[in-house]
Amino acid sequence: IRFLKIFFVYLDNMSTIQFISLYLALGFVWLGIIEYITTSWKVGGEWKTGERIIQMLLWPVFFFNFVIAFWIEFFKQNNDTYND
């Protein structure tokens, strides 16, 4: 909990350049994870540079879409398991 307090105080005192850098760094991490998953599981085709840039810049949209789809599928599978 102390880490979270320090983190949010840091976010409150961040300059615009630091905020943009953090945003892009998190986007780069998201891009690495999602590209690794789709490539190793052979989902879709090869990644193009434009797709990488869009994923990195709009990562919150894609991240929340991923989380919502994951939870819907998770509860659907659990519901099917309990109904059998």
Give the helix, strand, coil percentages of the chain, each rounded to 5.
Answer: 85, 0, 15
What gap in Å lies between CA 55 and CA 74, rounded to an integer? 24
**What digits encode the pLDDT tens for the residues 15-49?**
778 888 889 999 999 999 999 999 999 888 899 99
Per-residue CA distances from 28 to 2, 21, 43, 68, 83 (Å): 26, 10, 20, 21, 41
Residue 33 backbone dihedrals phi, psi, to 5 degrees: -65, -50
Q: How far, in whole angstroms, is CA 49 from its chain's centroid?
A: 18
Query: For residue 30, what pLDDT is reported?
Result: 95
Query: For residue 29, what pLDDT is reported?
Result: 95
**What digits encode the pLDDT tens for the residues 47-82?**
999 999 999 999 999 999 999 998 998 888 777 665
